[in-house]
Chain A
Amino acid sequence: MISTIDIFLYILILLSFFCLFRIIRGPSIADRMVAIDIFGILVVGICALMVIKTERKFLIDIAITWAILSFIGTITLAKYLSRKKLNE
């Protein structure tokens, strides 16, 4: 029996494959970084849906942590792109 949450979860996993396609095929380095950023935001949504599907309460903590780590990673990549050190 496929519930509504399952369908939403499958759609989100398909969308993360879109992001993976852009990471593989991206013409420039900035395209890959944009796709990594979007992928991080999508995984937060997937974790939030997995809480409803599997009733495991710790997954929402993983969602919060993933949001913070995705932010830090994207800021680091942006600093690398603008050719600066991390402390300026």
Chain B
Amino acid sequence: MNEILSNVFIGIGVAFDFFGCLGLLRLPDVYNRLQAATKSVTLGTWSILFGVFLRYGFTAVGVKALICIPLLFFAATVAAHALIRGSYIFGIKLWDKSVVDDYKNEWTQQR
């Protein structure tokens, strides 16, 4: 029973990872790529680790997988935010069909 449930969670996670990496491969712009990839790949890896926890229960491996989940959430989201802010400051242009750029006013007011 636990094995089937953990396989289901791991399958959901691999599907999220797949769509995230497809977005990384296909989308036209660095901002689009990051907002597609980071969110879904983080959620997919969360689901894989939760599946490992369900399979092993409260043993050493399961608890370590459970510890890895909040670590991954905070680390991946903070890193993605810093990365996208850095690339905006670096001066990488938006896609030419993008319609709104809210950060531009804020960034010009800051300096």
Q: Which residues of A contact B (CB under 8 A)?
A: 4-5, 8, 11-12, 15, 18-19, 21-22, 28-31, 33-35, 37-38, 41-42, 44-45, 48-49, 51-52, 57, 60-61, 63-64, 67-68, 70-71, 74-75, 77-83
Query: Is B100 among interface residues, defined by CB-CB distance under 8 A?
Result: no
- Once A11-B14, A52-B52, A63-B68 are accepted as A-B contacts, the answer to whether A38 and B21 lie under 8 Å apart by CB is yes
| Contact partners of A57 in chain B: CB under 8 A | 60-61
In the complex the two chains form, what is the Cα distance from A36 to B45 in whole Å?
A: 16
Name 8 interchain pairs, CB-CB below 8 A, sorted by A.
Answer: A5-B10, A28-B92, A30-B87, A41-B76, A45-B17, A49-B48, A64-B64, A75-B79
Query: Is B99 among interface residues, defined by CB-CB distance under 8 A?
Result: no
- Once A11-B14, A15-B18, A52-B55 are accepted as A-B contacts, the answer to whether A30 and B83 lie under 8 Å apart by CB is yes
Task: Tell me the count of chain B residues lying within 8 A, CB to CB, of chain A.
Answer: 46
**Which A-B residue pairs are the 6 nearest by beta carbons?**
A81-B86, A71-B75, A30-B87, A82-B86, A74-B79, A78-B82
Q: Which residue of B lies closest to A35 (CB)?
A: B24
Nearest CB on B from A19, distance (A): 7
* Chain A facing B: main interface SS: helix
Q: Which residue of B lies closest to A9 (CB)?
A: B14
In the complex the two chains form, what is the Cα distance from A22 to B17 in whole Å?
A: 15
| Contact partners of B92 in chain A: CB under 8 A | 28, 30
Which of B7, B49, B78: most chain A Cβ within 10 A?
B49
In the complex the two chains form, what is the Cα distance from A78 to B41 in whole Å?
A: 19
Q: Which residue of A lies closest to B13 (CB)?
A: A45
Say yes or no: B82 contacts A74, CB within 8 Å.
yes
In the complex the two chains form, what is the Cα distance from A85 to B12 in whole Å?
A: 40
